[in-house]
């Protein structure tokens, strides 16, 4: 073989290797001109990552309910096509033009439209805005952060909202709906650790042992809340964490004690709210909406600080199922079908 030929082959191999180095695996969502949806784990080029002042090497992501809706196309979560899924991510900063971040820092990403209008973290790398990130709390691993994820972060925001509205453990029981889900599981563990008596509402009666291990003192069948009910009912709850919506939320409000508070953060049963004003004007009940997507930076930092301090690690481990990126699509379908309990962590590098 001539010297020129050897040089050409070496040059081609170098280019190929360089190109391969730029390829990363990601869960890509797309729609063609006819509107046909596709979710697939594929390779994308780093150069195609969206604009941002920070590049994070993702170690773990997760499957939240919103992720599952996007990955299965069951709800119009995605606002821009194509999209890389994943509203959560935790990893190591690789490149940064943001003054708050430098290479080697460990960070958490929740919300801010990532996985909806900006490429997300169910990928080996994500290019993001530094203002969106929260520093990984000392002593917490990126895997633990994604066991918590947006679901657990939202649960803590709900607890903080109830506290701001005057909830104390002396006032009475706290109801947690959708108890075996991510928000519900973390909310039960947090509230129990803070000294509250927690009542868990679930349709999965076989998960009694799991819910009691998290701290639920009592378990009720979700059907007692999921059907149409009277606008004002017997007072039962000093506070409520609701991730279900619809009739469940309406009945929870109708059963909340005078001057009690309800934190609403989800719509697993539905987006509708078939209620009356009776609990609010006759009992002074407060309904607080909790939005984790654009929560301000100081509240995010405080929530993650408290999670690191107040959420027992042993209970966190009991919620966890870990999967690889290739399993994420099937897992999303299982979440929508109500077959998943606790939290699913995705190791994006396997």
Looking at residue 205, what is its pLDDT? 82
With a cut of 70, which residues of the chain have pLDDT below it? 1-21
Q: Residue 76: how many CB atoms within 10 A of its CB?
A: 9
The CATH code of the domain at 150-289 is 3.40.50.720
Segment 57-79, tens digit of pLDDT: 999 999 999 999 999 999 999 99
| Interval 128-145: pLDDT, tens | 999 999 999 999 999 999
- Pairing of the two strands 256-264 and 286-289: parallel
Instruction: Kindly report, residue by residue over 3-48, the tens digit of the pLDDT.
Output: 443 443 343 344 444 444 589 999 999 999 888 999 999 999 999 9
Rg over alpha carbons for the chain, rounded to the nearest Å, is: 22
CATH number of 17-136+317-347: 3.90.180.10
What is the b/e burial string over 241-259, where b = at least 16 CB atoms within 10 angstroms of the residue's CB? Answer: bbbbbbbbbbbbbbbbbee
**Closest by alpha carbon to 340, among 205, 222, 182, 187?**
182
d(CA 8, CA 10): 5
Per-residue pLDDT, 19:
44
- Structure token pair of residue 205: 């009666």
The domain spans of the chain are 17-136+317-347, 150-289
Q: What is the pTM for the complete model shown?
A: 0.89
Q: Are 337 and 141 in contact (CB under 8 A)?
A: no
pLDDT in the model for residue 21? 52
- Give me the residues paired with residue 89 across strands: 109
| Residues 342, 63: Cα–Cα separation, whole Å | 11
Contact 54, 130 (CB under 8 A): yes
Q: Are residues 184 and 176 in contact, defined by beta-carbon separation less than 8 angstroms?
A: yes
Per-residue pLDDT, 317: 87
Task: Supply the DSSP string of 79-120, one letter for each residue.
Answer: -SSSEE--SEEEEEEEEE-STT--TT-EEEEE-TTBTTTB--
Q: Quick one: which of 50, 48, 63 has its CA closest to 325?
A: 63
- What is the rounded distance in angstroms from the CA atom of residue 280 to the CA atom of residue 261? 10
């Amino acid at each position: 073989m001539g010297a020129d030929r050897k040089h050409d082959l070496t040059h081609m191999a170098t280019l190929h290797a360089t190109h391969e180095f730029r390829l990363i695996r990601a869960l890509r969502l797309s729609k063609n001109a006819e509107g046909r949806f596709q979710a697939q784990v594929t390779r994308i080029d780093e150069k195609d990552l969206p604009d941002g002042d920070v590049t994070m090497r993702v170690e773990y992501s997760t499957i939240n309910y919103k992720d599952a809706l996007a990955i299965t196309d069951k709800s119009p979560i995605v606002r821009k096509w194509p999209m890389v899924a994943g509203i959560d991510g935790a990893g190591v900063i690789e490149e940064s033009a943001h003054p708050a971040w430098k290479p080697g820092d460990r960070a958490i990403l929740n919300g801010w439209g990532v996985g909806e209008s900006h490429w997300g973290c169910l990928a080996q790398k994500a290019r993001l805005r530094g203002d969106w990130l929260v520093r990984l709390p000392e002593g917490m691993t990126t895997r633990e952060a994604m066991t918590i994820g947006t679901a657990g972060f939202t649960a803590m925001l709900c607890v903080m909202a109830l506290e701001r509205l005057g909830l104390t453990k002396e006032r009475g029981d706290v109801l947690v709906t959708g108890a075996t889900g991510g928000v519900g599981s973390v909310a039960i563990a947090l509230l129990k650790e803070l000294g509250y008596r927690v009542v868990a509402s679930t349709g999965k009666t076989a998960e009694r042992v799991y819910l009691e291990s998290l701290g639920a003192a009592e378990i009720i069948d979700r059907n007692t809340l999921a059907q149409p009910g009277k606008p004002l009912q017997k007072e039962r709850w000093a506070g409520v964490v609701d991730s279900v919506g619809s009739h469940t939320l309406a009945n929870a409000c109708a059963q909340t004690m005078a001057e009690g508070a309800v934190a609403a953060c989800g719509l697993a049963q539905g987006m509708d709210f078939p209620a009356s004003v009776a609990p609010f004007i006759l009992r002074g009940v407060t309904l607080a909406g909790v939005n984790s997507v654009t929560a301000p930076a100081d509240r995010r930092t405080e929530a993650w600080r408290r999670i690191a301090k107040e959420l027992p690690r042993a209970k966190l481990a009991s919620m966890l199922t870990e999967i690889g990126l290739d399993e994420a699509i099937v897992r999303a379908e299982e979440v929508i079908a109500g077959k998943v309990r606790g939290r699913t962590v995705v190791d994006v590098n396997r």
